[in-house]
Amino acid sequence: MQFAILIYSSEEAMQNAQPAARNEMLAAYGAYTQAIKASGILLGSNRLRPTASATTVRISDGKTQVLNGPFAETKEQLAGYYLIDVADLDTALSWASRCPGAGAGSVEVRPIWPMDEY
């Protein structure tokens, strides 16, 4: 079963972190990524650029609106994700609890709903 591990954190906190703290977090993510790769369950993962680089697209009254930046103002932003294939939710939660983002923000685990299951 496929799950997305969605990592939410404060962009401002990361940008304002001391270099040693930032390097420590990056090293923790490096180790986590290596462990999840070695397990054979990783289907994909990426960091996301800051929300200031986002573009939001909406269609209202048949007209496309393109807005620079994120749509919602929140305390935590989606910072990255891991896409994994594991036996069940408990296994996905176990991996999510080991993600460094769980200690610095929040980690959401969401089952993937394949497009062919409508």
- pLDDT tens digits for range 6-22: 999 988 888 899 999 99
Spatial CB neighbours of 114, under 8 Å, sequence gap ≥ 6: 2
In angstroms, the CA 82 to CA 74 distance is 21
**Has this prediction a pTM greater than 0.95?**
no
Q: Which domains does the chain have, with CATH numbers?
A: 2-111 (3.30.70.1060)
Q: Which two tokens stand for residue 66?
A: 């393109």
**Residue-wise pLDDT tens digits, 38-97:** 999 999 999 999 888 888 888 999 999 998 876 666 778 899 999 999 999 999 999 999
Q: Cβ atoms within 10 A of the Cβ of 21, count?
A: 13
